[in-house]
Structure 1
């Protein structure tokens, strides 16, 4: 297959490209390196050093015999997207080219507008380019389990059957996002559902849990890290906890630490996406996958990092709860379904503890780099203080 990855320089986009190349696909990529710039804007950098994309691609060509067909440009520019789709004529497009941080979207009005406009426009550009040029192409959009929020009932995969006033129907499960970023993902889902309804566009909408980890088989073969963020804007809780342990800072769960989410390893995220691409929907089909392996509370993550770090180095990091900068339920019911990928043959490859252990190993090699980033780890972006800062 010819597969186009929008956002190919990112945490998931880069290792996905490597995996697809090793499986014999022709891989093309779009990026304008905006994540690198946004991370610099908040005073941070990838905790694992990453080379320029041109250097990465030269290594890939030597290792695998062919590289990534790369296009530099902005997904919010419709002329650019139309040109790339027309030139490549992809069988599938993976849409990862969006502002991906909830805290960034909550900094203030400028960042909220940027997130809302760019994320929604990039998806609409893709929808129309596929409709007009390659209507048989499969769009795989990476969404988030955060679209659903934390309802007090089980979460289905996209749709559920409901009875109201004696009548039944199958409807999209209600979304209740917790940041401007998460709401853009909801709007993307709605727009893709509508495109499917009107034009029959083939869509896989992936509601992905929190991804963790530093390694895939291809990363180990090439020695090319993917990015790994630990700052309060772009890093996840598990990334932050691992870095805090290594630099001898307290591990800092937000609030009570009872927030529960679905998690899966980087390698398994790539495996799931590859499986979805190699088993595409039919024309006219819109499908939703909840993509995660296990669910954990923030407290459980903190305790795992503490215990694994102690096992490896003999030191026990302190766990210190800090004020929660977000507006969210800190104790709640959480039971999402996740069976559709298993029906396609997905099997977990790595458990969370071994993944944390590997991440500790990898990050410890760059302890000095982490020390230089220690000032951007603690929260500075507070939902209730989001400001007009044009």
Structure 2
């Protein structure tokens, strides 16, 4: 298959590109390098040094062979995006090209506006480009389980649910409530996908993915093939951040009570699940929602797992709760459905308890580099 990845330079985008190339798919990538710039803005960097786009392409050809193109450009420029799609005629477009940090979106008005404009305009440009060039192209869009918030009902994979309103039954879009401007941009993405699916019969997969953790996949056979790994308060997901805190001898820092519960997935399982969804598209004209996670844990449970893994490796670790900078429920019901990937034959290969030890071992040689940025780990962005 020919796959166009929007946001190929990112944590997931690069890993997915390597997986698809290793499976003999042809990959074209677009990225405006915005995450590199945003992380530099907040005084941080990737734990693993990142080659330039040109060097990344050379290293892929050297180590993996296969077909890879990397175009530096911005999908909020519709003419640029349409031209790439028209020239390459992909079977599927994977959309990761969004500002992906909740804290970054909550820094101030300018960062909130940037998040909304970048994310929604990019999604609209993609929808209209596909509609105009080839409506048969499968759009596979990365959403987030955070779109749903923490409701007191089981989170389904169906995009619509039955509801009783004024004593009458009706179908409504599965209720959502974001925890940041970033999450609300993702919610509106989903509305756009569902609406244009009904309007034009476009084929969509809307992935609701939980936080991802991990340092590498088997295709990353050299340092030059590594994906980025963030650990700062804005871009570092909780598991990745805790592993770096353990290495630096800092306390692991659950926010508030630490009872926040989410569905998590390893980097390896995420890219394999994405590959599965690419190779098994929905029916033509279908809008498919997939809840993509493998394990459900609270922040406190994760802290204990990382603490135990660190101690097994000789690190002195402790847990210290800090005031929660976010506005969120810290104790709540959480039960999302996980059905579609299992029906497609997907089986997870990693579990968090084992993987955090592998992550710490993988990051330890970079301790000196991590030390240079340890001031960016503690939360500074407050919702109120």
TM-score range, shorter chain: over 0.9
Q: Which residue of 2 aligns with 1:304?
A: 305
Q: CA deviation at 1:231?
A: 0.5
Q: CA deviation at 1:281?
A: 1.2
Q: CA deviation at 1:222?
A: 7.2
Q: Which residue of 2 aligns with 1:387?
A: none
Whole-angstrom CA distance in 1 between matches of 2:219 and 2:267: 12
Q: Which residue of 1 aligns with 2:148?
A: 148
Alignment of 1:41-80 (within 5 A): 41-80=41-80
Q: CA deviation at 1:101?
A: 0.3
Kindly provide the CA deviation profile for residues 333-355 of structure 1, in whole angstroms up to 9, marking residues without a partner as x. 11111111111111011111221
Q: Which residue of 1 aligns with 2:25?
A: 25
Q: CA deviation at 1:318?
A: 1.1
After TM superposition, the runs of 4+ consecutive aligned structure 1 residues lying more than 6 A away are: none
TM-score for the superposition, normalised by structure 2: 0.98
Q: Which residue of 2 aligns with 1:388?
A: none
Number of matched residues?
383
Whole-angstrom CA distance in 2 between matches of 1:61 and 1:277: 22
Q: Which residue of 1 aligns with 2:240?
A: 239
Whole-angstrom CA distance in 1 between matches of 2:344 and 2:65: 30
Whole-angstrom CA distance in 1 between matches of 2:81 and 2:21: 22
Whole-angstrom CA distance in 1 between matches of 2:369 and 2:288: 42
Q: CA deviation at 1:160?
A: 2.3
Whole-angstrom CA distance in 2 between matches of 1:244 and 1:65: 36
Q: CA deviation at 1:167?
A: 3.3
Show structure 1 runs of 5+ residues with no match.
385-390
SS of alignment partner, residue 264 of structure 1? strand
Show structure 2 runs of 5+ residues with no match.
none
Moved more, 285-294 or 352-361: 352-361
Whole-angstrom CA distance in 1 between matches of 2:185 and 2:88: 27
1:360 and 2:330 correspond: no
Alignment of 1:82-161 (within 5 A): 82-157=82-157, 158-161=159-162
Moved more, 49-58 or 262-271: 49-58
Whole-angstrom CA distance in 2 between matches of 1:2 and 1:203: 17
What RMSD in Å do the two structures reach over aligned CA positions?
A: 1.2
1:277 and 2:283 correspond: no
Whole-angstrom CA distance in 1 between matches of 2:65 and 2:359: 29
TM-score for the superposition, normalised by structure 1: 0.96
Kindly provide the CA deviation profile for residues 121-178 of structure 1, in whole angstroms up to 9, marking residues without a partner as x. 0000000000000110000000000000001111111332323344334432101001
Whole-angstrom CA distance in 1 between matches of 2:11 and 2:57: 15
Contact 1:57 1:67 (C-alpha < 8 Å) held by counterparts: no
Q: Which residue of 2 aligns with 1:179?
A: 180
SS of alignment partner, residue 220 of structure 1? coil
